Chain A
């Protein structure tokens, strides 16, 4: 499987996701510098977490105009699996590949801790092995929002990927860490080949992490 990880100035989970891909998928990804302009032939493109360009403007706004994003969009439109994690999710939204917006956490502070998510649609290339999973979040702007028309559209089209829930899988206000509408933790594009999610599966990918539920997303891509 040929994989690519995009590196923006300020990306800081690029190595972490590369290690997870190497460990789980079995081959190391090609790291693609943001100033490059083409990705030829990929089976998976990952836009990793971090603070691209420092995120001094709206998160992901600068990165979404980087030269490489043109190629990421072209590949996505051709059906290549594209996955944005955390800042990568923000970038995919800013570049128009995914709907909605990611606002400041309702607590107004950065949150780093384990949360639990439930897959909403397990018939996609990313989630066919997903069950209720524990993995960390680490963000300041993960409060997902979409207006009622958009929500209806993504619900009708099964585009919700994950929702924050409690240990029993109940989706409730108590298990929502950041104020996201309908507890949404991740969404797909219409054709389900683009996934954006705030939780970090690459930080729950081996036993020393205390939990390896994040593996199932990468394993799903293998099958």
Chain B
């Protein structure tokens, strides 16, 4: 359909303002056998936008491995579920709140946390940990500080109040996010295997119940806003950002968990993006039934709300449930106890239609299958750009560079400096089960009342993805896997948050396709499937897209918490070893970017066999109690990792290394590497075991003193390292 032969009564501009393409409108008319009314148009707009329909990404997402021995629920529900033994399960998901957080950072980030928490407790799990992955623009960009303060404040404000610890995350700065920051929030919850709740409606005639907060006019078209690019007038979209109320969410959490102990809930779905529309349609579609709703019954915050507004509001802290009719009064009494709204607003039907009434008049009647199965799905054109070429650096390129002063510059840079300023604003200890606090490779929380723990890590290196989307996709997965291994946990599964630019541009779609391919290969090899996730496209401003950012949240299990590892060096006299091969890969490293302001040289390639071999070796050594501390060698390379271990443990080290190309060794970002601390009486066993496993192992030096000293090069006092590491945020 082109705009010249428009022959419908509905105004073309109305269709376009709902984010629908003209041929998509034609599809609606074909499905309904008539033109939709305004409420129906709004519903289609809410269901068929990119955010809710995954229309550009679905085809590719299906290629990711999603099953495994421990997977109980893969993608498609509110959150994924894995088995963590003893009848316990971990429920988790990560979700983006990018567009709203750029418009209104505090509320955007806060409601991002609120939304992902609901996704997890909807499944019957008590949330036990929040994590996040954040990207901001150039640290010197005029908006950056305001956005960082707002986002950190919003994440803390919501998590602290509801009383779920925010135990870690990651933060990056890069100019590609100047116009589109990324706020990805992850929640992990714990439930019993036989008490998981799903969203498929069932039982013709059963009541459909609305619980939580009242519905207001906030957030109308939020999901549609999140499915389009920004331009200079984007500030005007601020009213589409919702406002969070963590106190009400706390009540909703407790009320839902209390009701879940009773045999009352048949289906439950959180009202997130596209509110009442997507929740009711999702429940009906999954159950292959219809739903009738009387909108006059919806608890309203504002007077004279229309059907259109009620269906599209994204007011927060609301849930939709189908319950056992006999349990209605019990359920009502629980929600009343918690001072929450509880209203029967409709019933499950056999019509397979969503039918809405208000004030006695029919407002909408749409077959569910048109909305869901017939939703547009695109296999968009894509171009895979050649990876940026590899550059082989040599010792002579760095002869005039001082390693110690380079190290200080690196650890004081916003991308590598201490994040303490951020996580001290998050309550990371409430619930009293936090075992490893923020600042190590992975956060660890105890499964309440047991001696086992969950390790969680979020990661992604967008620069790697930009210059080689395939290896970058692999890297994001592997980096979380390695972080989890370094904490002493067996990695189990991941959730992903796919943040990209406009998928209608073939090169952006090419980045997406390649990242997925890399992620899929890594997940398959490591037996580390994807169990939930979210896609955020159109992260562009004035035609300028962000770097491809497939943020990964990984989860692992520590069976015995006494095997938990942290990065802080423990004791003088112990020896630090490097595990894994070093090949001086400086391409696209933090060294080049921070010290030489260069972004080239190629993404390091990842050998998945080595990853698996070295990771297993680390876990074996931990099980044999050979190691005192472990740190994955990631951003910044070996020397930055050593500095982090020293700062964290307040221990010095005497590095005794002879290399032809010290810069390459200290700052190269080769993969599959770990630093491990070993006591003198275990050195021999470590070396013997490494040789048996054919794992490369190198002695770095002996722990002790108050400085990092490098033979023949020089030394730097710990106090100076700490000052440099904390300076940037302290002066924020």
Partners in one complex: yes
Name A residues whose Cβ lies closer than 8 Å to a Cβ of B. 9-10, 12-13, 15-16, 19-20, 49-51, 53-56, 109-113, 136, 138, 140, 200, 202-203, 205, 208-210
Task: Determine if A9 and B251 form an interchain contact, defined as CB atoms under 8 angstroms apart.
Answer: yes
Q: Contact partner of A138 among B338, B427, B446, CB < 8 A?
A: B427
Q: A208-B446, A208-B561 are in contact. Are A12 and B425 (CB under 8 A)?
A: no
Which residue of chain B has the shortest Cβ distance to A17 in the bound complex?
B432
Interface readout for B146-172 with A: 1 if CB under 8 Å, 0 if not?
A: 000000010011001111000000000
Q: A138-B430, A208-B435, A208-B446 are in contact. Are A54 and B424 (CB under 8 A)?
A: no
When distances are taken between beta carbons in the complex, the residues of chain B under 8 Å from A13 are 163, 430, 432
When distances are taken between beta carbons in the complex, the residues of chain A under 8 Å from B160 are 51, 110, 112, 138, 140
Which residue of chain A has the shortest Cβ distance to B431 in the bound complex?
A16
Interface segment, B26-34, B242-250, B395-403? B242-250
Q: A110-B157, A111-B424, A200-B429 are known contacts; what are 19 more A-B pairs with Cβ within 8 Å? A: A10-B247, A12-B161, A13-B430, A16-B431, A51-B160, A51-B246, A54-B247, A56-B247, A110-B160, A111-B425, A112-B424, A112-B425, A112-B427, A136-B429, A138-B160, A203-B430, A208-B433, A208-B446, A209-B434
Task: Determine if A209 and B250 form an interchain contact, defined as CB atoms under 8 angstroms apart.
Answer: no
Which residue of chain B has the shortest Cβ distance to A200 in the bound complex?
B429
Q: Contact partner of B339 among A9, A203, A205, CB < 8 A?
A: A9
Which residue of chain A has the shortest Cβ distance to B248 in the bound complex?
A54
> Could you tell me the distance in whole angstroms from the C-beta of B213 to the nearest C-beta in chain A?
12
> Could you tell me the distance in whole angstroms from the C-beta of B162 to the nearest C-beta in chain A?
7
* Prevailing SS type, chain A contact patch: mixed
When distances are taken between beta carbons in the complex, the residues of chain B under 8 Å from A12 are 161-163, 250, 430
Q: A9-B339, A10-B247 are in contact. Are A54 and B430 (CB under 8 A)?
A: no
Q: Can you list 20 A-B pairs, Cβ within 8 angstroms, ordered by A? A: A10-B161, A12-B161, A12-B163, A12-B430, A15-B431, A16-B431, A16-B432, A20-B432, A51-B163, A51-B247, A54-B248, A110-B157, A110-B425, A112-B428, A112-B429, A138-B429, A138-B430, A202-B432, A203-B430, A209-B429
Within 8 A of A (CB), among B21-57: none
Q: Contact partner of B156 among A15, A110, A210, CB < 8 A?
A: A110
Task: Determine if B163 and A205 form an interchain contact, defined as CB atoms under 8 angstroms apart.
Answer: no
Q: How many positions in chain B have a CB within 8 Å of any CB in the partner chain?
A: 31
Q: Contact partner of A51 among B161, B426, B446, CB < 8 A?
A: B161
> Could you tell me the distance in whole angstroms from the C-beta of A84 to the nearest C-beta in chain B?
17
> Could you tell me the distance in whole angstroms from the C-beta of B558 to the nearest C-beta in chain A?
11
When distances are taken between beta carbons in the complex, the residues of chain B under 8 Å from A49 are 430
Task: Determine if A9 and B425 form an interchain contact, defined as CB atoms under 8 angstroms apart.
Answer: no
Q: Contact partner of B250 among A10, A111, A112, A140, CB < 8 A?
A: A10
When distances are taken between beta carbons in the complex, the residues of chain B under 8 Å from A56 are 247
Complex Cα distance, B251 from A9, in Å, reads 7
> Could you tell me the distance in whole angstroms from the C-beta of A16 to the nearest C-beta in chain B?
4
Task: Determine if A203 and B432 form an interchain contact, defined as CB atoms under 8 angstroms apart.
Answer: yes
Which residue of chain B has the shortest Cβ distance to A140 in the bound complex?
B160
Task: Determine if A16 and B430 form an interchain contact, defined as CB atoms under 8 angstroms apart.
Answer: yes
When distances are taken between beta carbons in the complex, the residues of chain A under 8 Å from B338 are 9
Within 8 A of A (CB), among B239-288: 245-248, 250-251
> Could you tell me the distance in whole angstroms from the C-beta of A112 to the nearest C-beta in chain B?
5
Task: Determine if A54 and B161 form an interchain contact, defined as CB atoms under 8 angstroms apart.
Answer: yes
Task: Determine if B432 and A110 form an interchain contact, defined as CB atoms under 8 angstroms apart.
Answer: no
Complex Cα distance, B428 from A16, in Å, reads 14
Complex Cα distance, B246 from A51, in Å, reads 10
> Could you tell me the distance in whole angstroms from the C-beta of A60 to the nearest C-beta in chain B?
14
Q: A110-B156, A208-B446 are in contact. Are A19 and B250 (CB under 8 A)?
A: no
Complex Cα distance, B399 from A78, in Å, reads 78
Task: Determine if A50 and B424 form an interchain contact, defined as CB atoms under 8 angstroms apart.
Answer: no
Complex Cα distance, B160 from A205, in Å, reads 20
When distances are taken between beta carbons in the complex, the residues of chain A under 8 Å from B425 are 109-112
Task: Determine if B163 and A54 form an interchain contact, defined as CB atoms under 8 angstroms apart.
Answer: no
> Could you tell me the distance in whole angstroms from the C-beta of B537 to the nearest C-beta in chain A?
33
Report, nearest first, the 5 A-B pairs whose CB atoms are least far apart.
A12-B163, A54-B247, A16-B432, A51-B161, A138-B427
Interface readout for B419-449 with A: 1 if CB under 8 Å, 0 if not?
A: 0000111111111111101000000001000
